[in-house]
């Protein structure tokens, strides 16, 4: 027989601060090992074996919505039915901002970049240690807490962008950008110092269905430079990286 002292129920606050992690992995042994490792760390881990089940768990209107809000998604790339990249893409398209850690047997740069470009937050290549997985999960959850109130302003040197207001100030003066120029600049400012190829910029700003020449990118970069740079012939914001593409900052 238990007394009230003997049984310690978690308080409401405890329940809310316990992070819930959804694990999507079709290989049973890996799936169970991950769940055990996360539970040992004190997380609540729910595991599913395919993409469709994952989307059901994560969709707001799904049968499992309500009490099953997750703070992090651990997502295998190679899955039956719907693969990990498509799940990522779909969730982001739906406006779901859950942090995503991708797991993959593939380790090439292309897969990593692709994973991050479809909206994953981090990437772990198999085989990995459970210690590393737990550390990555912890880092993503911490980062999510820090960005819970996102700062909507992008700033770099003399350029300030207010993405939600579609406004850009350059050296204190408002400049008018076309939608494509705006989107280019927003992308650049979100990833300062990252080098983008023309194809990547076309894909991100014009979309994968755009039919045309990568010269389009050069033309828009020139227009953008004229609006941003003090001396467009010697740009300090949008720098050409010969043989690769462009970098901001």
Binding footprint of Ca ion on the chain (CB under 5 A): 26, 76, 78
- The closest of 115, 114, 93, 124 to 23, measured between CA atoms, is 124
Neighbours of 143 (CB within 10 A): 13
Measured distance CA(161)–CA(248) in Å, rounded: 14
Nearest distance from residue 51's CB to Ca ion, in Å?
10
CB nearer to Ca ion: give 49 or 58.
49
List, in order, residues 6 or more apart from 197 with CB less than 8 Å away: 244, 245
Assigned token pair, 222: 């020139």
Angle in degrees, 0-180, between the axes of helices 215-228 and 179-190, rounded to the nearest 10:
80
Nearest distance from residue 138's CB to Ca ion, in Å?
23
Nearest distance from residue 38's CB to Ca ion, in Å?
18
Chain residue whose CB lies nearest Ca ion:
78
CB nearer to Ca ion: give 115 or 245.
115
CB nearer to Ca ion: give 73 or 238.
73
Nearest distance from residue 76's CB to Ca ion, in Å?
4
CB nearer to Ca ion: give 19 or 104.
104
């Amino acid at each position: 027989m238990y007394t009230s002292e003997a049984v310690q129920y978690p308080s409401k606050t405890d329940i809310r601060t316990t992070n819930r992690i959804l694990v999507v992995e079709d290989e049973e042994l890996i799936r169970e090992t991950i769940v055990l490792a996360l539970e040992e760390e004190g997380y609540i881990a729910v595991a599913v074996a395919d993409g469709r089940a994952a989307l059901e768990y994560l969709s707001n209107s799904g049968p499992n919505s309500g009490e099953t809000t997750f703070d992090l998604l651990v997502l295998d790339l190679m899955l039956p039915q719907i693969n990990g990249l498509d799940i990522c893409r779909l969730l982001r398209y739906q406006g779901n901002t859950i942090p995503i850690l991708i797991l993959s047997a593939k380790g090439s740069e292309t897969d990593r970049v692709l994973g991050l470009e479809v909206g994953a937050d981090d990437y772990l290549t198999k085989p990995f240690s459970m210690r590393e997985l737990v550390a990555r999960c912890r880092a993503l959850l911490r980062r999510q807490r820090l960005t819970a109130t996102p700062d909507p302003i992008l700033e770099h040197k003399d350029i300030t962008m207010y993405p939600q207001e579609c406004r850009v100030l350059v050296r204190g003066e408002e400049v008018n950008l076309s939608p494509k120029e705006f989107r280019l600049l927003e992308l650049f400012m979100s990833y300062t110092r990252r080098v983008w190829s023309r194809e990547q910029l076309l894909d991100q700003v014009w979309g994968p269905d755009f039919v045309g020449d990568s010269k389009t990118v050069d033309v828009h970069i020139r227009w953008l430079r004229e609006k941003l740079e003090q001396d467009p012939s010697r740009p300090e914001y949008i720098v050409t990286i010969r043989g690769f593409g462009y970098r901001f900052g």
